[in-house]
Structure 1
Amino acid sequence: MKENFVVVAESRADQGKGASRRLRRLGKIPAIVYGGPVAPQSITLSSNEMFKHLKVEAFYSHILTLTLDGTEQQVVLKDLHRHPVTGLAMHADFQRVDANHVLHMHVPLHFKGETVAPGVKTGGGIVEHHLNQVVVECLPKDLPEFIEVDLTNLNLNESIHLSQLALKDGVVLTELKHGNDQPVVSIHLPRGAIEEANSEAAAAPEGESKK
């Protein structure tokens, strides 16, 4: 069951860096909501409430309910600026959602079966994640919170590519539209094991010649 995220916001008139600093001192975050036939609008959010939301992974790839001055609208989080040292949210961009228009969103990947994959369990390999999220195109109703990547049958020196991901109907991977079928995850021997094997292979002929 999908979570229902409600973001409570207030409209604001003050603009500029000085106004933003004053808001942050008051425990608020400056933000903007845009998209659709309505003009972009500057808003403020509660820092504490956003801190709680941002700890939940699904918040980043979910249709959100933005309550602005008592009126609800559907939005998605499109951009987030964090403080370079503290990591706290400094500014947020929200895009209004139109049920009939395609969204372009980053969606996280969830990996399962890593410990039972033959390449790990019997092959002695390690799992390398090449991607942790992907960009999808879909209507709002089809937006997945995450995409599962199953490694249960993955062998040593094998990879799972974008084209092998299981997607729900209506969801398209942007990279595949551009012909970029890149690897998502792979299993290979640790570097030390490869170097040791190469050393043994190189030393074998020399050892045999001394017999």
Structure 2
Amino acid sequence: MEIEVIAAKRELQGTGASRRLRHAGKVPGIVYGGTAAPVQLELDHNALYHALRKEAFHASVLTLNVGGVKESVLLRDTQWHPFKQQVLHVDFQRVNKDQKIHVKVPLHFLNGDAAPGVKTGGGQLHHIMADIDVECLPGSLPEFIEVDMGALEVGHSIHANELTLPEGVELVAHVKSENPAVASVSAPKGGAVEEAPAAAPEA
């Protein structure tokens, strides 16, 4: 699925210019990387705000259209207002189809309710990580990675190295070596229910 981002070159720079842009319903931004020079951008706030609410926007190779010139980019950073639902700035990085990229990809958890540790053991599901760092060529980037919890027993976990990754996608080196848990089923709260002791006979 191609996601296109429409932008224009930003001629005026500085704090005052950025403030005026935001008052006009625009968001200042930048695209950098590759062999070309960084380009200051302006984008429509509402269009960008709604795009940012979609998971795929954060883990896809995007098509940035600046005045009709298109290039492949990744979303690299977004700055938000401390308490308003307002995007203050956005950063994009150019990607080369022949060079591997390092991206955080969302995890989608499946079959949690069917896990034996939950269904028959009364355990509690825990999604320990929401996303995971991978590297791959831009054309192999998945929108998400599935975590099948269907076989988890009480007290057991699924670790990063156990995930089934799409072809051409691998965990980055530090995740491979650390092999963190991504999901688990803990024992029921309080453990097994014990019978109350019989009351002592009165004297």
Counterpart CA distance in 2 for 1:173 and 1:14 is 41
Aligned to 2:69: 71
Query: Residues 161 and 176 of structure 2 are in contact (CA less than 8 Å); yes or no, is this contact kept in structure 1?
Result: no
Structure 1 position 106 matched with structure 2 position 104: yes
The CA deviation at 1:170 is 1.7
Asked if the contact 2:26/2:44 (under 8 Å) is kept, the reply is yes
Specify the alignment match of 1:186 in structure 2: 184
Aligned to 1:90: 88
Matched, 1:149 2:147: yes
Choose the corresponding residue for 1:25, options 19, 23, 28.
23
Q: TM-score, normalised by structure 2?
A: 0.92
RMSD: 2.0
Task: Say whether the 8 Å CA contact 1:148–1:166 is kept in structure 2.
Answer: yes
Aligned to 2:114: 116
Is residue 163–residue 176 contact of structure 1 (8 Å, CA) maintained in 2?
no
Gaps of 5+ in 2: none
| 8 Å CA contact retained: 1:78, 1:94 | yes
Identify the structure with the greater helix proportion: 1
Give, as a single letter, the amino acid of the residue that structure 2 aligns with 1:104: H
Give the deviation of 1:125 after TM superposition: 0.4
Q: Distance in 2 between matches of 1:87 and 1:107?
A: 24
Q: How many residues align?
A: 200
Give the partner amino acid of 2:151.
N
Is the Cα–Cα contact under 8 Å of residues 175 and 181 in structure 1 kept in the other structure?
Answer: no
Looking at structure 2, the residues matched to 177 and 189 of structure 1 have their Cα atoms a distance apart, in angstroms, of 27
Unaligned runs of 5+ in 1: none
For residue 190 of structure 1, report the CA deviation from its aligned partner: 3.7
Deviating runs (4+, > 3 A) in structure 1? 175-178
Distance in 2, Cα, partners of 1:87 & 1:47 = 11
Residue 4 of structure 2 aligns with an amino acid whose one-letter code is: V
Match of 2:129 among 120, 128, 131: 131
Q: 1:115/1:178 Cα in 2 relative to 1: closer, same or farther (>3 Å)?
A: closer
Task: Give the TM-score normalised by the residue count of structure 1.
Answer: 0.88
Query: Post-superposition shift, 1:83?
Result: 1.2
Cα deviation, residue 177, structure 1: 5.5
Sequence identity (%): 43
What letter matches 2:111 in structure 1?
A: G
Distance 2:71 2:30 in 1: 13
